[in-house]
Amino acid sequence: MPLARHELIRAYQRMKTIREFEERLHVEIANGQIAGFTHLYAGQEAVAVGVCENLSVEDRIVSTHRGHGHCIAKGCDVVGMMKEIFGRRDGLCHGKGGSMHIADTTIGMLGANGIVGAGAPIALGAALAAKMDDKGHVAVTFTGDGACNQGTTFEAMNMAVVLKAPLLFAFENNHYSEHTGDHYSVGAKDMASRAEGFGMLARKVDGCDFLASYDIVNDVLKHCRAGNGPAAIEFNTERFFGHFEGDPQRYRGPDEIGRLRSTRDCLKIFRDKVTKSGLLDGATLDQIDADVLALIERAVEEAQKAPPPTAADVLTNVYATY
Amino acid sequence: MAVMNMREAIASTIHAEMERDSNVLILGEDIVGGMGTAGGPEAIGGIWGLTGGLYAKFGPNRVIDTPISESCIIGAAAGAALSGKRAIAELMFADFVGVCLDQLYNQIAKFRYMFGGAKCPVTVRLTYGAGLNAAAQHSQAVYAMLTSIPGLKVVMPTTPADAKGLLTSAIRGDDPVMFFEHKTLYGDKGEVPDGDYLLPFGHARMVREGHDASIVTCGQMVGFAARAADNLAKEGIACDVIDLRTTSPMDEETILDSVEMSGRLIVVDESPPRCSLASDIAGLVANKGFAALRAPIEMVTPPHTPVPFARELEKAYLPSAAGIEAAVRKALAYR
Amino acid sequence: MSKLRAFTMPKWGIEMVEGTISEWNVKVGEPVVKGQVIAQIETDKIVNEVEIEYDTRFVRLIAEPGQAYAVGELLAVTSSDTVEDEEIDTFVRAFVPAGGASAAPAGPSGTPPPAAAPAAPAVAPAPAAAGRDSPAIPAGSLISPAARELALRLSVNVSVIQGHGRSGRITLQDVDQAAKPIRSVHGGGPVAIEPTGAALDAFYASPYAKRLAVTHSVDLATLTGTGPRGRISRQDVVTAAGISAVPARGSAYEILRMSPTRKAIARQLTLSKSTIPHFYLRVSANVDALLALRAELKRAVGSAPSVNDYFIRAVALALVAAPDVNVQVHGDQIHRFRDADISVAVAADKGLIAPVIRAAQTKSVQGISAELRAVIERARAGKLRADEIVGGSFTVSNLGMFGVDQFDAIINPPQGAILAIGAARLCPVERGGGLSVAQVANFSLSCDHRAIDGAVGAAFLKELTALIETPQRL
């Protein structure tokens, strides 16, 4: 289904925001500005945005440890996110979660998660809640080529089929599960067919092509929203950075990242496609680029100035009442 | 007031809460029973018989019979709770927390904290404890381990009235609650208040009163302690028997009030002795009630072993009323 | 390798725990044949000859005659071949008596005591002091250092203590408890233990708050809770009702805390009464002559020592004449004193104190009187030095000035006896087959039967009475 102009602009803006957010974090982390572990999503933008542009605020997503992209795509406040990653008191999670647990449940982003594979059961729950509401809402679990081998993912696939839950398994195959290649760790070599084996509708798509990804998600979600049960899409995508920031990436081939950034950059591919087909012009895209950079710059500035949490904040929000 | 057993108290509470709030859902294995069989749904209504009739009343979207997938039962409860629902999840045997511990320990317990205030109202009901020869993997007193996890609340009723009051509070509260039901107490009868009945957590119940010694315990051990106290009372030895009802939060004030009067503490705990409820309470009193103590704290617990199978072995494993009595006497004999 | 064998303390009968070699009948290096008597061993029941059961030679004798050794302990080493000293040393070091603890300390080569033997349970026994442990602590007992020290200090026999530490190790707490008299868990009639606060369950109040509210008729509806989560706490009820937090249990009483002195007296006398087998010998003495002598002195000089001073002098002389009463008991030792170091019981504010008149037999009645007066004043003022109250060998306690006719006193351990003196009263006495009156004082001698037999005590009292009734001897 063709996207309207404003939808294309929004999609590009979202993808570009993710890209620049991650690129900037890479720099800030190298400067020692950020505490803890961070896992950058740059390169996979088309998947997050391709999925989330098909969702409303009442549809819910569960993310992975590599969650900034899903968070931005779902519509979370970028400045709030930056503050959270910088550990500030008025960050999205008040400095209590950080990069790996970044969330905003009020808009259906049920959290990045530090436990690989933990997301699928939780997303299943969100799907069951949607089923109770009976309004055609869905839930999405983003699962990598690492998490797809976790028992919890298999359990969730089976149970989603058994319960006909409106759950989309978005398998993001970026070909690396930490330091191990998917050709080694995914025994069946094919996540989509494994999902199909569990009894659900399964598709594959080039995850670096936003337009193709958007279309296939749109199609598949019709199936889910209509009460036909879960579905799976395997997205073939790439990550440009390491598993975590600080990863020496010795598992890469010679000049692999250079090659990926030139041939498998979803932003470039999108720009090519929309300009060649006249859907959008380069100047519009350039303006979006500039605006996004300004946003990220502002986000970092505000994050650096924002006050840190106090010792008393350790004790808050353990329970509603105790 | 109606007289019913704990099973009935729990079942009726679930019915009442699901009726009262359409956001409440319940998931578990065989909670309906018979799904996908010739016999059809409601073949069992839960293996402990507590969830019969819910499916017919509330339908498959709210009464969810699951395949055997504990991680998904608990994880789905978590996801539904994060999505605005109130989830009741059933673990057929408390020992199965081993299978799904991540969803409890790293997920549910920590969502509110990590996400800066997100609500996750989940009540996990677990059937626990030794006494029916179910052996090592189906008899454990798992509450001790879970009490130590910040973010979870841990509750174990000993009477039908307490079961109703505590379960109602658990379901209506916004915090994750681990609701422990002892296998051997399901059949115990008692008076249960009608209508809305909520009991706060961290509010212990006095089972017996006396100033000579303080016996602090929970769950199945409460009955044993009461028997021991009754026996001692025949000889003029009067003990407090305190039923904690909840171990997280725990009624520290009542424990200390009691020890300040008696000076002698006997903690009885069904969980294994290391890093247990008994050692937790002993530590609390040694720290905050030291001046009141007139004898070393006695801890009556099983040995550091798994739960054995044979009848004689399980009997030897579990603390007994006689063992509790002996501990009281030992504390009184200290000079 | 030569065949070294251990010769250990045999077990004769199920009750035997230790024996003493009274005599070796072999020499080192000497060959012995099967059936030969090689030693005399004494237990608390018998003395027996020990025969060797095989042909061998005694290559090292370890046990010393006169010392006690536990059953199974290594007494000597035998061998059929010649052996080097080093081999014997190794054998001795590695020896494990049946029962698991390591070997006895140093053989003649002077090697230091070994650490845990290989076959023994996981915990190493406490390091043995150089030389033998006291009989109260068998070598190789599993016991903590602090517990060992306490046991030696209090002469506690640890072989009968159940250790509650790991692997049955005896802890300081175990020794502490063993040194104290058994506390019986009080019996009594049945008591009611039903919870009293149940009627107030509708209120959000702690169990103790409810109890107090019931007992003191406090209306919980009028209270605001300051306990956790806004619960009404015990303190809220206490404050509201203006009552003591400690609930009244029956009759009203004032609680008086025991002073350290009081506690010490309590401890000491409880120990005495429950561990010392007391028996009592009672005599009366005619004090007419004594009183007359004293009255005469008073007329002559203006003042005289008190009657009690004369008694103390008499006691001193009687103790020297009957020294088996002038003893202290320490475990299985009796310390018999040459001097009459008499503790005189004095009532002071804080309780009973007993300053000691040392070598009272060397002091005149006047001397005793003066010393006692000075020391009593210091005692009453709380100014006694520690050395003035320790070490007495015998106590005299006189309650005559309070009108007490007769009483039996409790022995002050480690002393072996105490004399209780009552008031002198005019009593009917037999004189020359007829009835007369005289001033008579009653004496009761409490004796520790472990050290003092009836006849011994009686002899002392006989001498004492004789001295009192012939006061010119004083």
**Residues in chain B within 8 Å Cβ distance of A60:** 79, 82-83
The interface predicted TM-score of the complex, written ipTM, equals: 0.91
Instruction: Compare CB distances from A124 to B79, B107, B150 and report the shortest one's residue.
Output: B79
> Contact B74/B100 with Cβ under 8 angstroms?
yes
Do C298 and C416 reside in the same domain of the chain? yes
Residue C437 DSSP code: E
pLDDT-derived band of residue C251, with 50, 70 and 90 as boundaries? very low
- Whether residue C227 lies inside any domain: the answer is yes
* Given the residues B138, B182, B203, B211, the one annotated as active site: B138
Would you state the pLDDT for residue C125? 39
CA–CA separation, C394 and C391 (whole Å): 9
CA–CA separation, B148 and B145 (whole Å): 6
Q: Return the closest-CA partner of residue C419 out of C344, C367, C336, C474.
A: C344
Domain carrying residue C232: 196-257
pLDDT (average), residues C169-175:
91
Q: Strand runs (DSSP E) across C371-470, as ranges?
A: 394-398, 417-421, 425-431, 434-448
CA–CA separation, C99 and C472 (whole Å): 66
Higher pLDDT, C99 or B161: B161
CA–CA separation, A73 and A22 (whole Å): 13
For chain B, which domains are there?
2-192 (3.40.50.970), 205-333 (3.40.50.920)
Residues of C annotated as part of the active site = 449
Higher pLDDT, A37 or C376: A37
Is a pLDDT exceeding 60 seen at residue B7? Answer: yes
Instruction: Compare CB distances from B239 to C193, C233, C247 and report the shortest one's residue.
Output: C193
pLDDT (average), residues B102-131:
97
- Whether residue A152 lies inside any domain: the answer is yes
- Whether residue A46 lies inside any domain: the answer is yes
The string of DSSP codes covering B265-333 is EEEE-SS-STT-HHHHHHHHHHHHSGGG-SSPPEEE---SSPPP-SHHHHHHHS--HHHHHHHHHHHHH
- Whether residue C11 lies inside any domain: the answer is yes
- Residue with token string 């149940």: C198
Of C133, C151, C180, the position where a domain reaches its end is C133
pLDDT-derived band of residue A281, with 50, 70 and 90 as boundaries? very high
**Residues in chain A within 8 Å Cβ distance of B252:** none
Is a pLDDT exceeding 70 seen at residue A175? Answer: yes
Nearest chain B residue to A101 by CA distance is: B114
| Sequence-ordered list of residues with C-beta below 8 angstroms from that of A189, at least 6 positions apart, any chain | A182, A183
B223: closest CA of chain C, how far (Å) = 14
Is a pLDDT exceeding 90 seen at residue C378? Answer: no
Is the torsion defined by CA of C126, C130, C131, C134 positive or negative? negative
Task: Write down the number of H helices and E strands in chain A.
Answer: 12, 7
Do C366 and C252 reside in the same domain of the chain? no
**Separation in Å, CA A202 to CA A142, A157, C368:** 15, 11, 114
- Whether residue A322 lies inside any domain: the answer is no
Average of per-residue pLDDT values in chain C = 84
Do C293 and C384 reside in the same domain of the chain? yes
* This prediction's pTM: 0.69
pLDDT-derived band of residue A195, with 50, 70 and 90 as boundaries? very high
- Whether residue A321 lies inside any domain: the answer is no
Is a pLDDT exceeding 80 seen at residue C386? Answer: no
**Residues in chain C within 8 Å Cβ distance of B261:** 246-247
**Residues in chain B within 8 Å Cβ distance of C177:** 334-335
Nearest chain B residue to A111 by CA distance is: B115
Do C212 and C293 reside in the same domain of the chain? no
- Whether residue C155 lies inside any domain: the answer is no
CA–CA separation, C415 and C271 (whole Å): 13
C155 φ, ψ to 5°?
A: 55, 50
Contact B233 C193 (CB under 8 A): yes
> Contact A224/A138 with Cβ under 8 angstroms?
yes
Would you state the pLDDT for residue C18? 83
pLDDT (average), residues B168-175:
98
Domain carrying residue A253: 5-315
Would you state the pLDDT for residue C116? 38
Chains within contact range of chain C (3+ C-beta pairs < 8 Å)? B
Is the torsion defined by CA of B288, B292, B298, B301 positive or negative? negative
CA–CA separation, C400 and C398 (whole Å): 6
- Whether residue C340 lies inside any domain: the answer is yes
CA–CA separation, B27 and C331 (whole Å): 73
For residue C32, the domain's CATH number is 2.40.50.100
Higher pLDDT, B41 or C111: B41
Q: Is C122 helix (H, G, I), strand (E, B) or coil?
A: coil
- Whether residue C185 lies inside any domain: the answer is no
For residue C382, the domain's CATH number is 3.30.559.10
pLDDT digits (tens, 9 = 90+) for B300-331: 999 999 999 999 999 999 999 999 999 999 99
CA–CA separation, A232 and A243 (whole Å): 24
Would you state the pLDDT for residue C121? 38
Q: Which of B203, B245, B248, B259 to mutate to test the interface with C (most CBs of C within 10 A)?
A: B203
In chain A, % of residues over pLDDT 70: 100
Contact B209 C211 (CB under 8 A): yes
pLDDT digits (tens, 9 = 90+) for C177-203: 998 888 777 667 888 899 888 888 889
- Whether residue A231 lies inside any domain: the answer is yes
CA–CA separation, B21 and A24 (whole Å): 47
Do C459 and C325 reside in the same domain of the chain? yes
- Whether residue C263 lies inside any domain: the answer is no
Is a pLDDT exceeding 80 seen at residue C105? Answer: no
Instruction: Tell me which residues of chain C have a C-beta less than 8 Å from any C-beta of chain B.
Output: 173, 177, 180-198, 204, 206-208, 210-211, 227-229, 231, 233-234, 246-247, 249
Is a pLDDT exceeding 90 seen at residue A283? Answer: yes
**Separation in Å, CA A41 to CA A51, A68, A244:** 15, 7, 10
pLDDT (average), residues C371-400:
84
For residue A299, the domain's CATH number is 3.40.50.970
Q: Does A229 reach chain B within 8 Å, measured CB to CB?
A: no
pLDDT (average), residues B188-195:
96
Q: Does A152 reach chain B within 8 Å, measured CB to CB?
A: yes
Would you state the pLDDT for residue C102? 44
> Contact C341/C372 with Cβ under 8 angstroms?
no
∠ CA C49-C55-C56, rounded to 5° = 95
For residue C197, the one-letter residue type is: G
Instruction: Compare CB distances from C204 to B200, B242, B257 and report the shortest one's residue.
Output: B200
The string of DSSP codes covering B130-196 is SSS---TTS---THHHHHTSTT-EEE---SHHHHHHHHHHHHHSSS-EEEEEEGGGTT-EEEE--S-
Is a pLDDT exceeding 50 seen at residue C271? Answer: yes
pLDDT (average), residues B52-80:
96
CA–CA separation, A109 and A129 (whole Å): 14
Token pair for residue C36?
């030969």
pLDDT (average), residues C440-457:
96
Do C439 and C344 reside in the same domain of the chain? yes
For residue B265, the one-letter residue type is: L
**How many independent structural domains does chain C possess?**
3
Q: Does A103 reach chain B within 8 Å, measured CB to CB?
A: yes
Do C201 and C325 reside in the same domain of the chain? no
Do C83 and C228 reside in the same domain of the chain? no
**Separation in Å, CA C468 to CA A274, A311, C286, C314:** 133, 84, 8, 6
- Whether residue C409 lies inside any domain: the answer is yes
Do C103 and C208 reside in the same domain of the chain? no
B279: closest CA of chain C, how far (Å) = 17
Q: Does A118 reach chain B within 8 Å, measured CB to CB?
A: yes
- Residue with token string 């659900």: A200
pLDDT (average), residues A146-170:
97
Q: Is B182 a catalytic residue?
A: no
**How many independent structural domains does chain A possess?**
1
> Contact A43/A265 with Cβ under 8 angstroms?
yes
The secondary structure element, H or E, covering residue A217 is helix A210-225
Specify burial of residue B127 (Cβ count, 10 A radius: 0-12, 13-18, 19+).
Answer: buried
For residue C232, the domain's CATH number is 4.10.320.10
- Whether residue A137 lies inside any domain: the answer is yes
Nearest chain A residue to B251 by CA distance is: A322
Contact B79 A122 (CB under 8 A): yes
Would you state the pLDDT for residue C244? 63
Q: Is B120 helix (H, G, I), strand (E, B) or coil?
A: coil
CA–CA separation, C78 and C58 (whole Å): 4
Token pair for residue A4?
């309207």
Nearest chain C residue to B234 by CA distance is: C190
Count of CB pairs separated by less than 8 Å, A with B:
161
- Residue with token string 């309207």: A4
Contact A155 B69 (CB under 8 A): yes
Average of per-residue pLDDT values in chain A = 96
CA–CA separation, A76 and A112 (whole Å): 12
Q: Does B69 reach chain A within 8 Å, measured CB to CB?
A: yes
For residue B50, the one-letter residue type is: L
pLDDT digits (tens, 9 = 90+) for A36-75: 999 999 999 999 999 999 999 999 999 999 999 999 999 9
Would you state the pLDDT for residue C87? 87
Token pair for residue A299?
């986000």
Token pair for residue C230?
């806004």
> Contact C52/C58 with Cβ under 8 angstroms?
no
Average of per-residue pLDDT values in chain B = 96
